[in-house]
Amino acid sequence: MLDMMIGRKLMWSRDGYFRSVPADAKEGDAILLVKGCRVPLVLRPKGGPEKADEKRNGNW
């Protein structure tokens, strides 16, 4: 189990779930589950976390 956490960290999601995410994930990143992809994708809005709320409203 511990070897599954190498390169990962734990965080609380906005919807209250405890999640394992990549170690370099930051607040404001979007984690996407894409059909056909073997791993979740982490997208960071252009402009960094300070622009995250704007990006979540569809302004990618």
Cβ neighbours for 33, distance < 8 A, ≥ 6 positions apart: 40
Q: Are 42 and 34 in contact (CB under 8 A)?
A: no
pLDDT tens-place string over residues 4-32: 788 889 988 888 898 888 888 888 888 88
Provide the pLDDT for residue 12: 87
Domain ranges of the chain: 2-44
Q: What is the mean pLDDT of the chain?
A: 80
Provide the pLDDT for residue 36: 95
What global pTM score does this model have? 0.56
